[in-house]
Amino acid sequence: MLFNNNTKAQPQTTSSVWQSLKSGLNKTRDLLFTDIGEILSQENYDSDTLLDELENRLLIADVGVDATVKIISGLKSEIKRQKPASSDEIMILLKNQMVSILKNIESPLIISNDKHKPFTILVVGVNGAGKTTTIGKLTHLYKNDYKTMIAAGDTFRAAAIEQLAAWGERNTVPVISKPQGSDSAAVVYDALQNASQDKMDLLIADTAGRLQNKSNLIDELKKIRKTISKFNPELPVVTLLVIDAATGQNALNQAVQFNSEIGIDGLVLTKLDGTAKGGIIFAIAEKLGIPLHYIGTGESIDDISVFNANDFVSALLSINK
């Protein structure tokens, strides 16, 4: 999706955010590099042993076969070419290989200053992925720069409506909702009307999170998209898929299915702090190439950051940026 260039500044990665990211990746880092560190600490380590162990660890961390092969192959070539003299130099070579894979999904979400408002973010994903919390965090992230409204479009789960109401109160932004069981598309339409009347810049809309292979959910999402187009066909809309890093390869499968069924513009990868499967980010990059806009590394309202490939890998490898 194309956006115009007349935009406000996007959030930047600060020192505190990077430290939070580094802390949030502890479990994945420990899984990947406990034995690797022991090998590198040996004075005359064997590079083939190092590469074999690293390959195993990458696969266990759900990096995926294709991305693992690319990382190991590239690292092997660079070790042969550059003949690194220290473990630090090897880690830099490894970092470069990892960053090169993730760079193609590094793309901050730009909220355009289009004359057609509100800019609408449609948040989708299965139950438990962290959609509601992500909406609360995104609202907090953007509310100072953009006049923001929330649409409680998940009318299937009563708790979702209550949780969004709480997030709205916490962020002091309006939340448009209807009783449980109401038509989700009608909720979004009402929110669009209210947002237009109140001259809102940004509308963040929740959706139901039933299993992604359920046809009724997909039909509902398609109906919501049609409703938005009917309200204003020129309205800028981004469909953002929230996926849980802890689900590993299932997260990738969800992304593939959602993208096939309704089309996905961007991703949010949540709960990186609670899993050793943070390597799934590489599999997603290699197989899908869909922009990863945000990553979540904790429960705090500030534990969400714009995805940056260099920062992510530096934090994962515990290398200074």
Which residues, other chains included, contact 137 with Cβ-Cβ below 8 Å and sequence gap of 6+? 296, 301, 302, 303, 304
pLDDT of residue 62: 86
Among candidate residues 235, 287, 234, the one with its CA nearest the CA of residue 259: 287
Cα dist from 166 to 18, 54, 258, whole Å: 28, 44, 28
pLDDT tens string 298-320 = 888 888 889 999 998 988 888 77
- Report the C-alpha gap between 275 and 22 in whole angstroms: 13
pLDDT digits (tens, 9 = 90+) for 180-191: 999 999 999 999
Residue 246 reports pLDDT greater than 70: yes
* The pLDDT value given to residue 275: 79
- Predicted confidence at residue 5, as pLDDT, reads 35
Q: What is the mean pLDDT of residues 80-103?
A: 90
CA 46 to CA 48: how far, in whole Å? Answer: 6
User: Model-level pTM greater than 0.85?
Assistant: yes
pLDDT, position 35: 66
Find out whether 245 and 251 touch, Cβ atoms under 8 Å: yes
Between CA 62 and CA 28, with CA 32 as vertex, the angle to 5 degrees is 65
Q: What is the pLDDT of residue 6?
A: 41
Torsion of CA 141, 146, 152, 157, to 10 degrees: -10
The arrangement of strands across the sheet holding 292-296 comes to: 175-176, 148-151, 202-205, 119-124, 237-244, 266-270, 292-296, 304-306
Ordered by where they begin, the domains of the chain are 16-105 (1.20.120.140), 119-307 (3.40.50.300)
Higher pLDDT, 165 or 57: 165
* CA dihedral sign of residues 45, 49, 54, 60: negative
Tens of pLDDT, residue by residue over 120-156, are 999 999 888 999 999 999 999 999 999 999 999 999 8
Chain centroid offset of residue 80 CA? 35
Cα–Cα distance between 145 and 10 in angstroms, integer?
A: 9
In three state form, how does the secondary structure of the chain look?
CCCCCCECCCCCCCHHHHHHHHHHCHHHHHHHHHHHHHHHHCCCCCHHHHHHHHHHHHHHCCCCHHHHHHHHHHHHHHHHHHCCCCHHHHHHHHHHHHHHHHHHHECCCCCECCCCCCEEEEEECCCCCCHHHHHHHHHHHHCCCCCEEEECCCCCCHHHHHHHHHHHHHHCCCEECCCCCCCHHHHHHHHHHHHHHCCCCEEEECCCCCCCCCHHHHHHHHHHHHHHHHHCCCCCEEEEEEEEHHHCHHHHHHHHHHHHHCCCCEEEEECHHHCCCCCHHHHHHHHCCCCEEEEECCCCCCCEEECCHHHHHHHHHCCCC
Task: Report which of 289, 291, 295 is spatially closest to residue 311, judged by C-alpha positions.
Answer: 295
Side chain identity, residue 270? T
How many CA atoms lie less than 13 Å away from 48 in the CB half-sphere?
A: 0
Mean pLDDT, rounded, of the chain: 86
